[in-house]
Structure formats: structure tokens, C-alpha cells
Amino acid sequence: MAALISKSIEKAAKILNSGGIVGIPTETVYGLGASIFNVNALKQIYQLKERPSTNPLIVHIANYEQLQSVVKEFPEKAEALTRAFWPGGLTLILPKNKSISSVISAGKETVALRMPDHKTTLKLIQLVGPVAAPSANPFERISPTSARQVASYFPNELPMILDGGKCKKGLESTIVGFNKNKVIVYRLGVVTIEELENTIGKVYINNDNSSKTVTPGMSKKHYAPITKTIVSKDFEIVIEEFKEQKIGVLHFNEFVAPKGIVAVSLSKKQCMEEAVSNLYHQLYHLDQLKLDYTVVEPLPDIGLGKTINDRLKRAAHL
């Protein structure tokens, strides 16, 4: 049966409460959602995504009462961060309550959680309780930013995809953890390093893929198109090298494409926020064109540009 795309929150709640999996919208990317209380559904998420069981899931909550049911400790700096960025694109790694399944935490004593900034999904979570939801894509593929993209990945595997429109942010959450009094960034995301440090002072980055998987998004290869992807500022050199191939260019700065080259812009206004929201959408679009190569321009390595460059590095084939 083909996945049903629907705006019915009540129908989605019924499926989740009966142990099913639903594609759900957030402001960052779409997720594959299951009740945190249904272990079988949680295991099915890993199977659907072909995701390693060592890679934890993120729990999504709708209010602070639900937070207390998920974690057993809530550091002062965590409280400061939630005041500044919840609901929104910040995920915290905190010591979990014993009631949280090890399937969610991948056997760890911590749990990743956030409060999404999406009215539809907040209403859903208020109805069913906390929901575990990794991105709604096969492992290592581009995260989806629309219900139709989810359906293209899982055309027959889901009973329903809750349509919440195009994702407002279009890129995953920032993930931070705590080591004594230090705040550690494990995944760059829509909340920037600068924003974090303006709120709580110095933070430390540990998103190296050579480290063990502490949080989602730390794999060396991730967020990748099927099309071979090259990250380079030197479009002309790459185009000349592969001139006999079908090439697409994804650019941030102005670029006049030679004849026969497909070129799409991350932001015609050269706006970093717009570039972030368009990144996965445009990579997905180029992937549908069956090109031989996609050449992507890295962004200035500050703020959200640093986040985009991290995604591009993990998506690149060459």
C-alpha cells in the first residue's frame, strides 16, 4: 500500500498509539516517528532506515513535563540553552531515565532530545507523548524537507506521512552534550556556534567521525546524494576536467553556467539562512536529474556556513 500523505494529526496519533511509524514534519527535516514506549516500532525504524543499531535516536518532546519523564539530570547550562533555543533546532545529550529503552539510546546511559518548533508535530506529541524520530531517509542519504520526498524514499513502507509543508529551517538540529562544566558540540546544525557561545560562553567541538558514535550525524559519510558530489570553489577547473560528463552546479555566489551545465542557486540573495533552507532541497532536485557529477560551492566558513560545509564534507564522494 502506498504511503498516505495527510494533514490529519488525529490519524497520525492513532497510528503511533497502535505501534506504527509515521513520517512527521519538523522545522529542521522530516523524521520517522514512533512512540518511545513501543520497542518494536523503534526497532522497525532502524530496519527501515538500515541504520546501525549503535547510532542513537533523538526523542522529541512537546513540554517540560515530558522532559522530566525522559531525563534524570538537567544541568544549569542545559536549562539556559533550552530557555534560549527551545522550541527549536537544538538537541541535548543528557543522562536518561531508566524507563528509556536502550534501543533509543543505542545502549548508552544518555539520551538525545529536543523540542521541535513545529506546531503540527507539537500537537501530535501532546496527544501521544514523546516520539523518537531520526530523519526520514535511508541511512547516509539526503534528509527530506517535504512529505513528498519522504514518500519517494518509503513509497510503500509507511502507513502515513503527516504533511506539515516544507521544513522552515531545512537542516538538522545542533547537538550538544555536557562533560562536567564543559559544553561540547557533537553535531553542527541550525543553531550556530556563535549563538551558543553568546548564550553560555565557550563551547568545544567534537564532531570528528574518527570518534565513536556518541550522537546522530557523526558518520564520515552522511547526508549524501546518489550523484557523485564534488565540493570545490573552482567550478571552471572541475567542469573542464569532466567536460564529457553531465554536470550540475550548486552555487552560493554568482555563477554564469556554460552551455549544457545545470546550475541552481542556494540563494540568489546570497542569504545564509536561505542557503541553509535550500541545501537539501536543491541537492535532492539535482539528484533527480540523473547527472554524472554535482559540483557544490563551499560557503564562507562562519556561522551557518560552517554547518553547511560540514554537511558537504560528509556528502562528498571526491
Model confidence over 80-90: pLDDT tens digits? 999 999 999 99
What's the rounded mean pLDDT across residues 89-96?
98
What's the rounded mean pLDDT across residues 19-23?
98
223 is in an annotated binding site: yes
pLDDT score at 181: 87
Q: 310 and 165 share a domain?
A: no
pLDDT at residue 1 greater than cutoff 60: no
CB distance 189 to 171 below 8 Å = yes
- Pairing of β 110-114 and β 90-95: antiparallel
Structural domains of the chain, count: 2
186 is in an annotated binding site: no
173 is in an annotated binding site: yes
Q: 168 and 267 share a domain?
A: no
Q: What domain range includes position 267? A: 228-315
Residue 103, classed as helix, strand or coil, is helix
60 is in an annotated binding site: yes
136 is in an annotated binding site: no
Q: Does some domain include residue 194?
A: yes
55 is in an annotated binding site: yes
Q: 32 and 104 share a domain?
A: yes
146 is in an annotated binding site: no
311 vs 55: CA distance, rounded Å: 18
pLDDT score at 233: 87
List pLDDT tens digits, range 170-182.
999 999 999 988 9
Phi, psi of 84 (to 5 degrees): -80, -35
Q: Does some domain include residue 293?
A: yes
pLDDT score at 105: 97
143 is in an annotated binding site: yes
- Going by pLDDT thresholds of 50, 70 and 90, the confidence category of residue 214 is low
Residue 247 cell numbers, joined:
554536470
Q: Does some domain include residue 217?
A: no
